[in-house]
Amino acid sequence: MNCRNFILSTIVAAAGMAPVSGHALTLRECSLEATPAAPSEIVSERSGQTYLTLSADGKNVVRCDYKTGRQEAVVMSTANLRDCDVKSWDGFILSPNEKLMLLYTDVEPVYRHSFKASYYVYDIARNNIKKLSENGLQEIPSFSPDSRMVAFVRDSNIYVAKLDYGTEVAVTKDGKRNEIINGVPDWVYQEEFGMLSSLAWSPDNSILAFLKWDESAVKMYDMPLYRGSCDEKPEYKYYPGSFSYKYPVAGEVNSKVKVISYDVETRALKEMNVPLDYDGYVNKIEFGKTPERLMVNTLNRNQNEMKLYAVNPRSAMAKLIYTDKSTTWIDPDLTSMTRYYDSFFIVASERDGFRHLYKYSNAGSLMKQVTKGDWEVTDFYGYDPATMRYYYQSTQTGALNRVVASVDAKGVSTILSPKEGTSSAQFNASFTYYVQNFSDVNTPDTYSLFTSKGKEVREIEANREYADRFRNVPEKTFFTMTSAGETLNGYMIKPAGFNESQKYPVIMYQYSGPCSQLVKNKWSIDWLDYAATQGYLVVCVDGRGTGFRGKKFASVVYKNLGKYETEDQIAAARYVASLPYVDASKIGIFGWSFGGYETLMAMTAPGNPYAAGIAVAPVTDWRLYDSVYTERFMLTPQQNSVGYDASSTLGRIKNLKGNLLIVSGTADDNVHITNTFEFVSEATSQNKILDMMVYPNKNHFINGCETRLALYTKLLDYFNRNLKK
């Protein structure tokens, strides 16, 4: 087996057909089969010369050479396992000493981003395998640094499996669903902080630190469940059921969080004395390079002050070593770039108006600003002590692009990837190689291996067949326009067979959420590309408040969501209407989630220019959405009642003009269908006519069992009936 041919998803195979050059694209292709092939996930070994990867069929874990791509060994073969009837695996975790693996199967989703599974401990040298635990599925397993223990969560409690002895010790016993959660973050932490685990081992294996959430005072949300025909639930054949979970809305009670340490030898639990507002957040914990430094990130509830503490897990005392403040909000994504080294640590901050990296001593003194300029660092890959270089991704060549770059000890930056387009990197353990993923608006994703100096070593996946199959997709071109004196970025997809003397209907696509970006020099295909083949002009504009153009550009929406976004979307529609090849009476607007909210705001703006709009999974009143996201940009309703009133779509329904379709899934745990029902109820009370489509048992993604194709068919049909009549 050649390592370069490991593929997670191949479009031609998924379609069940050979590639066809120049054929007429279908809605199915553009909506469900448009993801380019990608290499399997790789796990770099410590040598930096080899990596491990799971075969596409889940039956083998193999070792491959970075430089050549050749397979060196089969590290685990399902066919050769003794006393194990698992036929294929969903994934694996390599132990720190690289002698063991955790293989997992029987995956069950918990929320949108989390899952539990059945984990097995595999001894590579002995070819022995056994279950991690016999007592039920596990979540977020974590090897101790010496690879002799695995901490995991089951049913809201933490356990430590001692692999040498085959024993399992309960770290906590107070866990109870919807009340006390240990180790695994609550729903809103997972959704809005991207935090999936809080387990942290000390470097000397003596301490396991974790977070404990008390959500007993948080109000419950009951989500109805029906039998349905997709993933049928026969238990609800005659009467609906429900899924109940804690969901804090803006201004209401949040869960209370504590930082706890567990002494492996004495089994003693101790709460850390971390200064924290009663309703504050702990959005990250991890150990530094010594067992005396448990690093704890906190945010106040208003999310405009972030603090970093070094905590001694035995004395429980905390020392403040870093603070970041903002007059608006601090993006919690900044903490994803924090890295700890022997004598210093790296943080990301927007203090100078752009997102950059800063170097601090372990005592908390600023040593230097690592990156500088009117551009933003969008990812930090790490620091190589051998070359004293920092590797990162940024917008150095413009907000539409992403480049892979490095900066040396003197502050000299070197761009390693193409300057135009979108590049990302996955480095090996020794920072000598990286796998680069590159695409641009006209080039599907390609994957190649590069040296850390930016020299290409070999091609991994070029997606040539895919590129040939989709070469007739209408071209996407970029443009700029102004709104209220601000230059906005946009793209346009002209209809197939475009004729400037004709008048075309328009679909305006937007998301508009704070710090988001849709207009970027990157490959993508979806149902709107198909719409362009059916005679539509598709236009997308990123308005004020969107991301990667500096803090000032994003912050204009603070405490007033919906105002400037709506002004800019309407300005964009009027700009498009002025073009000679546009039918100004046939402009539609579409968006999903925040984009659905903005669709409703635009459709309820006095004198709006839209003939039709489609809002999928929209927020309709920010008082109905979760606390962490909403309060980051709006504060609480108690602090900003005027802003909440102005940003609600419900008070604007009297201005509704044009044909409106609102779409929701009944099992959307993110944006509850309550939002849609409240909007429809208010519209009904004002005798406003609109259309609604509801998908039973579907979450925020509205997919599964052909549902996404049915949805896109519905959306296109709605625009056809209202923009082509």
Total structural domains within the chain? 2
Q: Check whether residue 331 and residue 477 sit in a common domain.
A: no
Tell me whether residue 161 is in a domain. Answer: no
Tell me whether residue 603 is in a domain. Answer: yes
Instruction: Give me the half-sphere count of Cα atoms (radius 13 Å) on the Cβ side of residue 75.
Output: 27
The mean pLDDT value for 650-673 works out to 98
What is the reported pLDDT for 224? 95
Tell me whether residue 712 is in a domain. Answer: yes
Give the domain range for residue 530. Answer: 473-723
Tell me whether residue 607 is in a domain. Answer: yes
CB atoms within 10 A of CB 707: 17
Please tell me the distance from the alpha carbon of residue 656 to that of residue 723, in angstroms, as a whole number: 17
Tokens of 207: 């301490």
Residue range 446-474, pLDDT digits in tens: 999 999 999 999 999 999 999 999 998 99
Residue range 80-125, pLDDT digits in tens: 999 899 999 999 999 999 999 999 999 999 998 999 999 999 999 9
Please tell me the distance from the alpha carbon of residue 26 to that of residue 150, in angstroms, as a whole number: 48
CB atoms within 10 A of CB 190: 18
Q: Rounded to 5, what percent of the chain is helix, strand, coil?
A: 20, 35, 45
CB atoms within 10 A of CB 328: 20
Residue range 320-332, pLDDT digits in tens: 999 999 999 999 9
User: Last residue of a domain, which of 335, 367, 399?
Assistant: 367
Distances (CA, A) of 673 to 624, 629, 668, 699: 10, 18, 7, 10
Tell me whether residue 97 is in a domain. Answer: no
The answer, yes or no, to whether residue 678 has pLDDT greater than 50, is yes
Please tell me the distance from the alpha carbon of residue 155 to that of residue 35, in angstroms, as a whole number: 36
The answer, yes or no, to whether residue 671 has pLDDT greater than 80, is yes
Mean pLDDT (the chain, rounded):
95
The answer, yes or no, to whether residue 628 has pLDDT greater than 60, is yes
DSSP string, 212-243: EEE-TTSPEEEEEE---SSS--GGGSSS-EEE
pLDDT band (50, 70, 90) for residue 22: low
Residues facing 115 on adjacent strands:
109
The mean pLDDT value for 239-263 works out to 98
Q: Check whether residue 352 and residue 487 sit in a common domain.
A: no
The answer, yes or no, to whether residue 310 has pLDDT greater than 90, is yes
The answer, yes or no, to whether residue 8 has pLDDT greater than 70, is no
Strand ranges (DSSP E) for 312-442?
318-325, 339-340, 344-349, 356-361, 366-369, 377-384, 389-394, 403-407, 413-415, 422-427, 433-440
Q: Check whether residue 485 and residue 361 sit in a common domain.
A: no
Tokens of 473: 């997709």
What is the reported pLDDT for 20? 42
The answer, yes or no, to whether residue 69 has pLDDT greater than 70, is yes
Q: Check whether residue 541 and residue 687 sit in a common domain.
A: yes
CATH number of the structural domain spanning residue 713: 3.40.50.1820
Q: Check whether residue 487 and residue 361 sit in a common domain.
A: no
The mean pLDDT value for 218-245 works out to 96
User: Last residue of a domain, which of 337, 367, 397?
Assistant: 367
pTM attached to this predicted model: 0.95
Q: Check whether residue 673 and residue 540 sit in a common domain.
A: yes
The answer, yes or no, to whether residue 4 has pLDDT greater than 50, is no
Long-range Cβ contact pairs of 450-456 (< 8 A, separation 24 or more): 450/416, 450/425, 452/384, 452/387, 452/389, 452/391, 452/406, 452/416, 452/427, 453/416, 454/404, 454/414, 454/416, 454/417
Tell me whether residue 279 is in a domain. Answer: yes
Tell me whether residue 405 is in a domain. Answer: no
Amino acid letter, 400: L
Residue range 531-567, pLDDT digits in tens: 999 999 999 999 999 999 999 999 999 999 999 999 9
The mean pLDDT value for 284-306 works out to 98
User: Last residue of a domain, which of 317, 338, 367?
Assistant: 367
3-state secondary structure of 327: coil
Q: Check whether residue 583 and residue 697 sit in a common domain.
A: yes
Distances (CA, A) of 37 to 7, 428, 437, 656: 6, 21, 11, 43
Give the burial string for 648-683 (b: 16+ CB within 10 Å, else e): bbbebbeebbbbbbbbbbbbbbbbbbbbbebbbebb
pLDDT band (50, 70, 90) for residue 23: low
What is the reported pLDDT for 640? 99
Q: Which of 212-216, 468-472, 527-531 has the lowest mean pLDDT?
A: 468-472
The answer, yes or no, to whether residue 17 has pLDDT greater than 70, is no
CB atoms within 10 A of CB 578: 9
454 neighbors 417 (Cβ within 8 angstroms)? yes
- Going by C-beta distance under 8 Å and a sequence separation of 6 or more, which residues neighbour residue 232? none
Quote the Cα angle for 81-83-87, to 5°.
Answer: 55
Residue range 142-188, pLDDT digits in tens: 999 999 999 999 999 999 999 999 999 999 999 999 999 999 999 99
Tell me whether residue 77 is in a domain. Answer: no
Distances (CA, A) of 339 to 286, 405, 443, 445, 693: 10, 17, 33, 29, 46
669 neighbors 699 (Cβ within 8 angstroms)? yes
The answer, yes or no, to whether residue 430 has pLDDT greater than 70, is yes
Residue with tokens 């976004």: 565
The answer, yes or no, to whether residue 644 has pLDDT greater than 50, is yes
pLDDT band (50, 70, 90) for residue 18: very low
The answer, yes or no, to whether residue 9 has pLDDT greater than 80, is no
Residue with tokens 């070819």: 127
